[in-house]
Amino acid sequence: MFWAIVHLFVVFGGSIPYVFQYAEIHHRRNAQGFSLFVCLALCIANILRILFWFGKRFDLALLAQSIVMFICMIFMLEIAVRMNKKHTPKSQQKSLLRGDFLGSFWAWHDLASFLITLTVFTTFWSMVTVLLLRFQWYVETLGMVSLLVEASLGAPQLIRNWQRKSTQGMSIPMVLAWLCGDLAKTGYFVATGSPVQFWVCAILQISIDVFILGQVFVYRKNTDSSELPYNSSSPVHSVID
């Protein structure tokens, strides 16, 4: 019974922080405080981790976690894109379908652009993995890259907060849940003998979580005046949001 509960937490626990952020965005009707690059990092990380599983069969609970997290990120993208679109003049809205790629990468205003990009990414790396799966060096590298990307998922939010000199619009319960989840994951990885890539990267995640919580304290007096405009042509918007 104990391990059944632990496995359920592993599968769904990583998605819980985003329930807080989803609620924050829905309540404020504004997604500017949330970096879309968090979704990018987690989508890439979990796609690669699923492919890693085919080369190195780790715990099924961790595989299920990747699938659940990917679905969660699609929901986060949907609400964030919908809110960003509402705050952006139609003449400034960007779409991959209209040829807006490099200058507006991951700052589009329609969900289809994100889904197309993720589909192309998944198809390409699935083909590469089929070809190279028999090589151990490729499998180990795939696992390390997937987990390093996931470990850096807080970095876009860290940069976003630094650029704005504010954490307003970011869900603090989300970050606290990140930290608690990462601490629990690290213990789980060590206890179950998961590949070393998992727990080393979890330690990096914990470090970034702590830095973000430090920003909450440093920027605690800052208000809405620090908000960035919804302008897709803005360098800050294009890189961070």
Kindly report, residue by residue over 198-228, the tens digit of the pLDDT. Answer: 777 888 889 999 999 999 889 887 755 445 5
- Residue 110: predicted pLDDT: 94
Tokens of 108: 């589009």
| Greatest pairwise CA separation for the chain in angstroms | 56
* pLDDT given at position 223: 57
Residue ranges of alpha helices (H) inside 56-168 are 60-86, 111-132, 136-151, 154-164
Angle of the 136-151 helix axis to the 111-132 helix axis, nearest 10: 150
CA-nearest of 2, 150, 141 to 62 is 150
CB of 92 closer than 8 Å to CB of 233:
yes
pTM summary value: 0.77
* Measured distance CA(206)–CA(237) in Å, rounded: 26
Cα 108-228-82 angle, rounded to 5 deg:
35
- Alpha-carbon span 173 to 182, nearest angstrom: 14
Mean of the pLDDT values across residues 55-74? 93
Cα separation values, 104 from 26, 78, 92, 110, Å: 24, 17, 11, 12
What pLDDT shows up at residue 166?
85
Question: The tokens of 230 are what?
Answer: 């919804």
The stretch 13-21 carries a mean pLDDT of 87
Cα(86)–Cα(88) distance, integer angstroms: 6
pLDDT for position 239: 35
Tell me how far apart the alpha carbons of residues 70 and 25 are, in angstroms, rounded to a whole number.
19
Give 116 or 161, the one with higher predicted confidence. 116
Return the DSSP state at 143: H
Q: Which residues contact 185 (CB under 8 A, 6 or more apart)?
A: 10, 13, 14, 198, 202, 205
